[in-house]
Amino acid sequence: MERPNTIEAERLVREFKKGPRAVDGIDLRVEPGEIYGFLGPNGAGKSTTVLMLTTLLPPTAGTARVAGYDVVREGPDVRATIGAALQEAALDGLLTGREHLRLQATLQGLPRAERPARADELLERVGLMEAADRKVRGYSGGMKRRLDLALALVHRPRVLFLDEPTTGLDPQSRAALWTEVGRLAREEGVTVFLTTQYLEEADVLADRVGIIDHGRIVAEGTPAELKAQVGRPTVEAMPADERIADVLARFGEPVPSAKGVAVRLAGDADLTAIVRALDAKGLLVDNLQLHQPTLDDVFLAKTGRSLEGAGDEEEAASRGLAMQPAA
Amino acid sequence: MSDAADQIFVLARRSVVRTSRQPAQWIAPLVFPMLLLAVNSGGLKAVTHLPGFPTDSYVAFALAVPFIQGALFATMNAGTELARDIQTGFLNRLALTPLRGAALLAGHLGGVVALGLVQACFYLAVGLAVGVRPASGVGGVAVLLVFAALIALAFGSLGTWAALRTGSAESVQSLFPVFFVFLFLSSMAIPRNLIQQAWFRDVANANPVSYLLECVRSLIITGWNGEALGLGFGVVAAVGVGALALSARALPQRLAR
């Protein structure tokens, strides 16, 4: 009987010699057909976790199972089940896209007769049919990423690992990749473990998100659950006017605003009620915005830092540079 | 074809295709040894008048050198290509497939051997074109090609080991001058028994490259010579087995799976 395509980790640890604890006892469980977004800044431990789950790096402690197979003791079974597109699209610039797919199909043990058709099918699916016979060194970053994804799918894996698949891609390529990843999970039941440092990517694509910082998972849940943990939406109105602030204060707790006045909405308040209240007072408002909490707010709440720039801060710290406090 | 044979074949083909698409990788091993052969044959022709020199054709004597130089290029190419796969992460891609380590080594070295054979045929064709006639006949040519393939395999394995140990194409390339020193301190330019400097003769006697050269030379100049063939094949077997064992030991650590 086929095992469920889950991913499980218990107290997973990876220490490097003379280095920090890159992964520091993480627990996670990803259900079959789920897209799990692993969100964190550079150096948080995302890629190290992927390397351990794909059997490329042995854990220092803890256990992990992919599709029910232990990543240390049953490596070949794990590798037969998974597809992976790692952080750098590891391609051979001198081979064509089609040559890559045929090589991968052979190494994955696909029957000889099936290889050309499978290569064509995947080239078509990732939109590379026209470029199939061109050397990969002439591909754009987006094309390389799409080929990388196609290579990961050659043997029809039931679990897919994507390590920062859209880093450096233009918005169009990013959207195309999101569509394909979503389709794989929804239509083919593939379990997807996706690392990213992009808030939007985790928000749009992932069914559940795990936020990792300094090797530890600091928050986990659906994007909506995580954002709900942080609080209610805020409403911001411009210009900064005391009378507008008084009206807004009836709908929630005032919060600082750089450009105008703002409140965090109370339980059942909504934007239409605020608009009516402002209109009833005859107040003119230049701009009225509803801000939903973001995953960055979640990261900020859990770590005290903003996700954007957190990686730079860690890289600077690792180079021994003291971060100067803001003036 | 079995899965393993299929895997070896596609990896060997990739190795050949990669080399064929990088002209510098195949032009240099073909042209430079021939240039050196032309220069040496012109400049050192008078050496053939020395009493005890085994032939009156310096080209025939020196034709052995390109075979060893070709092997050095094979070492470089094999090592550099593998190191590049490590650096770009392509080896990780291979590690994520059911590919066995032995098949990976065999495929990689299969390509090196194929290219070594192409080089050997080219050197031989040039030799025939300028009038060299192998004393051991057609059978000797066949043995020569087998020997060339084994040299490419042995030295390619050395390059492979260096790549697996260092993971750096630059480090592998830094070995090239070291190998060339071995070549120049051998019986490359003159038979060992005619070397006048005692220290140089001692070094050439101890240098395994001398025996590789003399094995090739025996097939071209003197015909079937059991001692030269035994020493040549013995040296290449020792280097090959040793380097392959070291590579096989280093591979699992590099694959890290």
- Check pLDDT > 90 for residue B124: yes
Confidence of residue B208 (pLDDT cuts 50, 70, 90): very high
A215 in the same domain as A246: no
- The verdict on residue A51 lying in a domain is yes
Structural domain containing residue A257: 232-291
Are A60 and A144 in the same domain? yes
Q: Do A187 and A145 sit in the same domain of this protein?
A: yes
Cα–Cα nearest to B104, from B116, B93, B119: B93
Q: What is the CA radius of gyration of chain B?
A: 19
A316 pLDDT exceeds 50? no
Last residue of a domain, one of A205, A227, A249: A227
Mutate to test the interface with B, among A50, A92, A133, A161 (most CBs of B within 10 A): A92
**A186/A258 same-domain check:** no
Task: Report pLDDT for B43.
Answer: 85
Q: Are A125 and A101 in contact (CB under 8 A)?
A: no
What does the buried/exposed string (b/e) look like for B170-186 if buried means 16 or more CB atoms within 10 Å of the residue's CB?
eebeebeeebeebbeeb
The answer, yes or no, to whether the previous bond of A239 is cis (omega within 30 of 0) is yes
CB pairs under 8 A between A and B: 68
Question: DSSP readout, B106-145?
Answer: HHHHHHHHHHHHHHHHHHHHHHHHTT---TTHHHHHHHHH
**CB of B56 within 8 Å of any CB in chain A?**
no
A9 beta partners: A28, A64
> Using the beta-carbon criterion (under 8 Å), do A108 and B6 form an inter-chain contact?
no
| Mean pLDDT (chain B, rounded) | 91
Q: How many domains does chain B have?
A: 1
User: Any idea what the CATH number is for the domain that residue A183 is in?
Assistant: 3.40.50.300
More confident residue, A266 or B234: B234
CA A291-A169-A223 angle, 5° bins: 35
Instruction: For chain B, give the number of residues.
Output: 257
pLDDT over 80 at A146, yes or no = yes
Q: Same domain, yes or no, for A58 and A201?
A: yes
What's residue A307's pLDDT? 75
Tell me, yes or no, whether A202 lies in a domain. Answer: yes
The boundaries of the domain holding residue B181 are 3-255
Report the residue count for chain A: 327
| pLDDT given for residue A4 in this prediction | 86
A197: tokens are 């440092």
Q: Is the pLDDT of residue A233 over 90?
A: no
Kindly state whether residues A87 and A236 are assigned to the same domain.
Answer: no
ipTM: 0.85
Residue A106 sits at the chain B interface (C-beta within 8 Å): yes
Whether residues A36 and A86 share a domain: the answer is: yes
Question: Same structural domain for residues A243 and A195?
Answer: no
Percent of chain A scoring above 70 in pLDDT: 93
Kindly state whether residues A31 and A86 are assigned to the same domain.
yes
Question: B72-94, pLDDT tens digit by residue?
Answer: 887 788 899 999 999 998 998 99
Per residue in B147-188, pLDDT (tens digit) is 999 999 999 999 999 999 999 999 888 888 888 899 999 999
Which stretch of DSSP H or E encloses residue A255? strand A252-255
Same domain, A32 and A145: yes
A120: in domain: no
User: Is B93 at the interface with chain A, CB within 8 A?
Assistant: yes
- Find the CB nearest B90 among A57, A90, A108: A90
Query: Is the pLDDT score of A201 beyond 50?
Result: yes
Number of domains in chain A: 2
Higher pLDDT, A309 or A282: A282
Kindly give the residue spans of alpha helices, DSSP state H, lying in chain B: 3-20, 23-43, 58-62, 64-88, 90-95, 101-129, 137-166, 169-173, 176-184, 198-206, 208-217, 226-255
Q: What is the structure's pLDDT at A317?
A: 45
**Residue A134 counted as domain residue:** no
Assess whether A241 and A151 both reside in one domain: no
